[in-house]
Structure 1
Amino acid sequence: MTEPEQHVEVARAESERGELVLRRRTRPGAPDVLELRVNGVFVMDTLETGSEIEMAALALDLVEAPVDVVIGGLGLGFTTQRVLADPRVEKVTVVEIEEPLIGWMRDGTVPHGPGLLADRRLQIVNADISMAVAEARQGHDLLLLDVDNGPHYLVHRDNAELYRERFLTQCRELLNPGGVLVVWSSDHSPELAARIATVFGEVDEKAYDVLLQDRPETYYLYSARR
């Protein structure tokens, strides 16, 4: 009989938006897995990172010179890691609203965090992505948004604004001509696709199949060019 998976809490923090929990899943004969939950909702883990990596790879393939990249959402760092692996990239700004998560990455609570954050091209900004985009200046080649589970499975209710035309228009204005926006979603969203197309003139949808804790799931990447 297969022994059951064990869950061990690694770190916990409270913010004005609620509770963040980092826990370790262990199973005999298998590598340990770190899992991030926000207000009890699964956000991501270190086992199934394919869609986070693909998000970065897709964006990088769409721009000839992705010199300056903005990423909304640090998570466990896999999108950032893939962006930094591209030698064309000279500057990466990651906007993360949850200060404890940044701390866990910096202090080694997330083991691969210190090495990732040591890259001199990387700047971590502790802020709300909506405010950061509103206050930023134009001049970015890529803008990657992975700050929630998508418009249909919000971790924070206020994040609904991030999938509406007003914010998407601000994202468009932030990009250089030819720059690309990519938005991650855990679910198919024709409404989001339509809004992006309204703002940018077109949108491309890509489905990405994953195996999440032994369950088949499909995530979606929505991209558009200024």
Structure 2
Amino acid sequence: MTEYVELARAESERGEVVLRERRDPDAGVNAPAVLELRVNGVFVMDTQETSSERGLARAALAKVTDPRRVVIGGLGLGFTLHEVLADQRVEQVVVVEIEDALVQWMRDGTVPHGPAYLADQRVSVVAADIRVAMAEATPAAYDLVLLDVDNGPGFLVHDDNVALYQRTFLEQARACLSPGGALVIWSAAESPTLQKEMREAFGNAVAVPFEVTLQSRDEQYWIYLSRVEA
């Protein structure tokens, strides 16, 4: 039977955030423990399967010619950030994470790889709502915005996040992008409604299927991309 050990817990006005360690006794004593992040009892991500987080970053970076300045909405366990930093074209990354406790766990080593991921001098982390960050951003300040705060519009971590997939926020994101810049949103399921909202905000939107293998299972996720005309 899988064993769980709670490493950290925090409460905010949005509810409960829990970081726990997961072990499979049948895997042997040398098998690494898996960190698991849950919000209000719902699984968000873990350290065992990071293909989607890394794939989001790679796919998004491939769509922008000069992604010097990047915003990531959602810190998670840092794997999207880590993949973005692997691209030597990137000069600045701003990570916007609404849960301050999660930022602290990454900084203080509660998440063991966290300090190393955040040590890169190109990184700054802001504990804020991504909606506020985009509304306050300087026009054309960024070349790429990656949004990975939910599992897409159909699988919200918080009900209020529905606004992130609607035209008002999408237009705010567009305003902070440079010519040729792009907004990329990850979704666990196809969402024609999101594509429509992005098209109305940007004048264009494409849905890109993203194939991953999760524990020997083939899965299909989606990446939605809109671009500011150069």
Q: How far 1:215 sits from its partner (Å)?
A: 6.0
TM-score when scaled to structure 1?
0.94
Residue number among 180, 188, 191 corresponding to 2:190 in the alignment: 188
1:223 maps to which of 207, 222, 225: 225
Q: Among 7, 13, 20, which residue is 2:10 paired with? A: 13
Q: How does 1:117-136 map to 2 (within 5 A)?
A: 117-136=118-137
1:23 matched to 2:20:
yes
1:9 counterpart letter in structure 2: E
Aligned counterparts, 1:45-64, within 5 A: 45-64=46-65
Question: Whole-Å Cα distance in 2 between the matches of residues 33 and 103 of structure 1?
Answer: 19
Cα displacement (A) at 1:218: 3.0
TM norm structure 2:
0.93
1:70-89 to 2 correspondence within 5 Å? Answer: 70-89=71-90
Query: Within 5 Å, which residues of 2 pair with 1:80-99?
Result: 80-99=81-100
Alpha-carbon separation, structure 1, partners of 2:32 and 2:209? 28
- Segments of structure 1 that go 5 or more residues without pairing to the other structure are none
| Partner in structure 1 of residue 40 of structure 2 | 39
What is the CA–CA distance in structure 1 between the aligned matches of 2:60 and 2:216, rounded to whole Å? 28
CA 1:172–1:120: 2 relative to 1, 3 Å: same
1:100 aligns with 101
| Secondary structure in structure 2 of the residue aligned to 1:143 | strand
Kept in 2, the 8 Å contact 1:48–1:211? The answer is no
Matches within 5 A, 1:174-213: 174-212=176-214
What is the SS of the residue equivalent to 2:49? coil
Q: Is the 8 A contact 1:69 1:143 kept in 2?
A: yes
* SS across alignment from 1:19: strand
Once residues 19 and 144 of structure 1 are traced to their aligned partners in structure 2, the CA distance between those partners, rounded to angstroms, is 24
- Aligned partner of 1:114 in structure 2 is 115
State the distance in 1 between where 2:180 and 2:46 align: 33
What residue in structure 1 maps to residue 158 of structure 2?
156
What CA RMSD, in Å, does the superposition of the two structures yield over aligned residues? 1.4
* Greater shift in the superposed pair: 78-87 or 202-211: 202-211
Unaligned runs of 5+ in 2: none
Q: Secondary structure at the match of 2:204?
A: coil
Counterpart contact for 1:48–1:210, Cα < 8 Å: no
* Count of matched residue pairs: 223
Matching of residue 166 in structure 1 with residue 165 in structure 2: no
Q: CA deviation at 1:206?
A: 2.0
C-alpha displacement at 1:211, in angstroms? 4.8
1:151-191 deviation line (CA, Å, top 9, x unaligned) = 11111111000000111011111100000110011221110
AA of the residue aligned to 1:104:
W
Q: C-alpha deviations, 1:30-62, integer Å up to 9, x for none? A: 321111000011111111111111111111111
User: What amino acid is aligned across from residue 218 of structure 1 in structure 2?
Assistant: Q
SS in 2 for 1:88: coil
Distance 1:215 1:13 in 2: 33
Indicate if the aligned counterparts of 1:35 and 1:46 stay in contact, CA closer than 8 A.
yes
SS at match of 1:7: strand
Distance of 1:113 and 1:77 partners within structure 2: 7
